[in-house]
Structure 1
């Protein structure tokens, strides 16, 4: 026996090959084996029907003949008067006893499908109408015949067995091929669905990437515009700062130039005043020297006395007067370490030479003070250097008084001590 719906029809297509990009034969084989195993188990369960034992039921039925029922009285029929007494109704004739009912199992219909279990059908029970009391009428009772009773089928024996469909190898092979076809169709449908989803995902990804690229381009454009604006602002700020710095530098330069000019003018005025003072002091010193030469040692002083070179050794604060009031540099004992003024390179290149002389007062501690210019070299810088060097000189204490300090500037050497006027 073959299963219904499991045979291959003529309109079905043959199995079509499946070309997969990836080698998934292992998984497909495993899936096919599992499906075949499940199919075999299902077929085995369907092939063994449940065992149902027939139930014996006793069916009771009565057969009543139509002749036993009272016939109705037709209209217009004369009925004799009974004078209040009912005519005795004829006793109903009992029908002959029917044979005892035999328990009969309903025949079992053969199964039409292997997957369905068919329950045994029971023959319909025909209930005979019961006797009903009718109007009293003389009716002739007619006994029931055997033809009115259905004869049970006593030759059929119901054992409760159900026909089982027999499956051969061809049926199983057809089922397996059908499962394979369904699997291939499912695989093709899944592949198409996956490809469709992949295409849709790729399209969505391309759209998202395109949107991101557009956003990036917009951001890059805005960033470039902001950078250009910032660069222009920086250039303008740098230009303004440079202009401001240049203006400040120009102002500072003008102020420095003005200050330098003022300083140079002040220095020039001070230098002119010093030169005038030095020239005046030099003239005065020269005049005093000339007066000393003409006096030949004569004259008076506030504190000194004597004539010629034989004056009193007592100190005096006066330059003019007797020669004893001013001593020569050789007459005093100097402290070691007194330095002479030095030439500079510019002064040597300018070939500046000359002789200068200063008068100074030696204090008790040996320091010098009250400098007076007696003779000038004609160069203010040489006279200033000589004065600066003499201010640092030291003598041994106890030699208080005026001293004559001549110096000679020569290009062959440095400033040297020159012979004083007192020796002439």
Structure 2
């Protein structure tokens, strides 16, 4: 007997019992329900299966309290294939050096079962383009995209921004491989800048190996493009990575290599700043301050970047990066009062949209205030910082927050500290 027949027989038997319990004839039930007596007779005998609407109507008329309606299974319409309707699951994107690649989405159902419910597409290796020039606005559009991505990186999770940047780097490398010789440097130069920013996002995600890989790729693309300034800047980035890892020797060595290779005042200034920070981290006050003075001299000689060009190397959201570096170093040199004066003054000029930069230097400012026991002021600065870090994520900011956490615990009974510590704990555990 089919399951439908079994349900029909059971329903018919129960319907007859409930009808007789209510002292109703089949004809009287037909009159109440507006179904024919013959049709109801076939339902009771099991000759016809009941539908959901009839079962609910009879249940209501006989006061069965759902006993009859529950005997009729509700048939839901069949779902489409999981791969077509389930947008969740894993996405896999492959990007090969020759420009080929593919995309595959595997649904959660496919992951939990042995089904092959996937959506896949591929893109072949592109054919060589005609020998004409790259369209005039092509590179300019990528430059604008770089500005937009850097702004996005101020408020977005670095791991999410990195997905976008990686795809752009792949696209530019592919186009550079197909372009005529005269157009290759421009494409590679922009691609190198995207790769450099990918290194930043990997560092902010707390993945130093991925950061080093992206920095290496950026340096390779810069050298192939003939961009010596960017190639040298990647040595400065290596110094910054070492700095955030509390490695003074690694910071100094990378900064010295950058200084030796630098050919422009702007890059020399940045190399000297990282060199000063390395000596400050090591506690060498005289050398640190001497290098900061040299960096300030070089920064005064640097030419401002044209408004329509690529974003400037380094931060573009601080009024005076050299002042921030000095305030940073003074904190490492155990001079928190002077550090707080400088950082506090410059912090007010960071644009409101630069959430990541504000969090980074806000954490330093709060640390400088806390180390001179200005706890109320330190916690007032720290409040917005921990809120931002929880949403945008930042491994570099958390390195200072860990130090700040240790400092504040020395005054764990202070009311301001008591209020902020739960929020700080959440920011330290993303």
Which TM-score band (shorter chain)? under 0.3
Instruction: Select the structure with the greater relative contact order (CA < 8 A; seq sep ≥ 6).
Output: 1
* TM-score between the two structures when normalised by the length of structure 1: 0.17
* TM-score between the two structures when normalised by the length of structure 2: 0.16
Which structure: greater helix fraction? 2
